[in-house]
Structure 1
Amino acid sequence: MTKTLFITGASTGIGAATAHAAAKAGWNVALFARSADKLDALAAEIGEQALALPGDATSYDDQAAALQRAVDHFGGLDAAFANAGRGLGTPGTEAGDPEEWRGLVDLNIMGLLYTAKAAIPHLKPNKGSLVLTGSAAGRRHIKGSIYGASKWFVHGFAGNLAEEMRDWGGRCTVIAPGMVDTPFFDQAKPDKLRPEDVADAVMHALRADPRNTVLEIHLFPTH
């Protein structure tokens, strides 16, 4: 039976690359993001294996409804990729914007928690997997980085979630890339990682033998 992967932040960058990689590997992909136009275009590129599910990752109700639609459409869920995230326009603590912080926490932390909570009931029957987008910034201290601190949460939560999911045979992996050339940055970073590199890491974790829980994959640009 064909497996199904739910992806948040699916419209561009890492999410879109993972959708293509999963579809190429024979998976169905449920694509979740705010941009309906971009999702529709991506789904059209992939074909019948893809389902566009517009919604806001900072809304638990939106995510829960999208996951239910995915399960109803494809017949089940085997993995979810909590990939949606954002950075900050104003770095640092003293100079930082508290409203910007709130938006970052709502997406990078609460949105990821919502994905996990909404997906787990659907994953349990298939002993499915959760993959979380962490960051190299969540593995080391960076001066004044609120964004980095949000990714420290992701890394800590991923380990805790792996232990929770172990009780029913599920697996959780955190993917920790260094700088990736995506629309996340205002300027192109052609000498850094490509979204496809991260997608390869996601698929490696998902393809691992059920006896093998890949807890973390850390990627870093050669240059």
Structure 2
Amino acid sequence: MAKTLLITGASSGIGAATAKAAAAAGWNVALLARSGDKLTDLANEIGDAALPIQADVTDRGEVTSAVERTVDRFGALDAVFANAGTGVNNPGIETGDPQEWHDMIHVNILAVLYTAHATLPELRKTKGNFIVTGSKAGREHFKGSVYSATKWFVHGFAGNLAEEMREFGGRCCVISPGMVNTEFFDEPKPTKLQPEDVADAVVFALNQPDTSAVREIHMMPND
């Protein structure tokens, strides 16, 4: 029976590329995002292995419901890719917008926590994988960047979660890319990492044998 991967932030960029790559590798994919139309188009492209679920991952109830729908459809949950994330227009502390910080922290931190909280009971059953999108910004210090601070949290949390999951044979991996050519940027970045590059890293982490736990994959553009 095919294994099942739940992806947040699945409607575009890294999430959509990972959905396609995982489905091509034989996985069922549950696709979570707020953009219902994009999810439907992506699910139609993938076929019966995809389940589109319009959801706001900063809402605990919607995340819990999405997990339930995924298990009802596919029978189990074997892996999660907590990929949803956002940034801010002004990265500075003194000149930044605290409301933007509030919204970003809910997506970059709380949504990851909500996703882990809702999925761990199912991953415990399958000795599954929890993969989360970190960043180069979560490994280095950037002047005044609250975004960077949220990604430092992600990296620290992933390490802590890996220790918790190893107790039941599960694994946690943080994917930490440098600049990726996504809709996050106003101008295309053709020489930077592509969403498909990150998707391949996720599939690599998922395909590790039981004896191997890849805790982090750090990727940089080769330009």
TM-score interval, normalised by the smaller of the two chains: over 0.9
Corresponding residue number in structure 1 for 2:88: 88
Q: Secondary structure at the match of 2:168?
A: coil
Which stretches in structure 2 are left out of the alignment for 5+ residues? none
Corresponding residue number in structure 1 for 2:191: 191
CA distance in 1 between partners of 2:108 and 2:137 (Å): 13
Matches within 5 A, 1:55-70: 55-70=55-70
Structure 1 residue 185, shift from structure 2 partner: 1.2
Corresponding residue number in structure 1 for 2:27: 27
Structure 1 residue 78, shift from structure 2 partner: 0.2
2:216 maps to a residue whose letter is E
1:141 maps to a residue whose letter is H
CA distance in 2 between partners of 1:28 and 1:55 (Å): 18
Structure 1 residue 144, shift from structure 2 partner: 0.8
Is 1:18 aligned to 2:1, yes or no? Answer: no
Corresponding residue number in structure 2 for 1:171: 171
Structure 1 residue 53, shift from structure 2 partner: 0.4
1:168 maps to a residue whose letter is F
Structure 1 residue 214, shift from structure 2 partner: 0.3
Q: Percent identity?
A: 61
Corresponding residue number in structure 1 for 2:102: 102
2:148 maps to a residue whose letter is G
CA distance in 1 between partners of 2:36 and 2:169 (Å): 34
Structure 1 residue 90, shift from structure 2 partner: 1.2
2:28 maps to a residue whose letter is N
2:49 maps to a residue whose letter is Q
CA distance in 1 between partners of 2:23 and 2:144 (Å): 39
Q: Secondary structure at the match of 1:63?
A: helix
CA distance in 1 between partners of 2:166 and 2:62 (Å): 27
Q: Secondary structure at the match of 1:99?
A: helix
CA distance in 2 between partners of 1:108 and 1:185 (Å): 17
Corresponding pairs, count: 223
Structure 1 residue 138, shift from structure 2 partner: 0.4
CA distance in 2 between partners of 1:186 and 1:54 (Å): 25
Q: What's the CA shift string for 1:96-119, capped at 9, x where partnerless?
A: 000000000000000000110001
Q: Secondary structure at the match of 1:62?
A: helix
Structure 1 residue 187, shift from structure 2 partner: 1.5
Corresponding residue number in structure 2 for 1:216: 216
Q: Secondary structure at the match of 2:182?
A: coil
Is 1:77 aligned to 2:67, yes or no? Answer: no
CA distance in 2 between partners of 1:190 and 1:51 (Å): 30
Aligned Cα root-mean-square deviation (Å) = 0.5
CA distance in 2 between partners of 1:62 and 1:155 (Å): 25
Corresponding residue number in structure 1 for 2:148: 148
Structure 1 residue 91, shift from structure 2 partner: 1.4
Is 1:39 aligned to 2:39, yes or no? Answer: yes
Structure 1 residue 186, shift from structure 2 partner: 1.6
Name the TM-score, length of structure 2 as normaliser.
0.99
CA distance in 2 between partners of 1:25 and 1:171 (Å): 19
Which stretches in structure 1 are left out of the alignment for 5+ residues? none
Q: Which runs of 4+ in 1 moved over 2 A?
A: none
2:159 maps to a residue whose letter is G
CA distance in 2 between partners of 1:173 and 1:32 (Å): 20
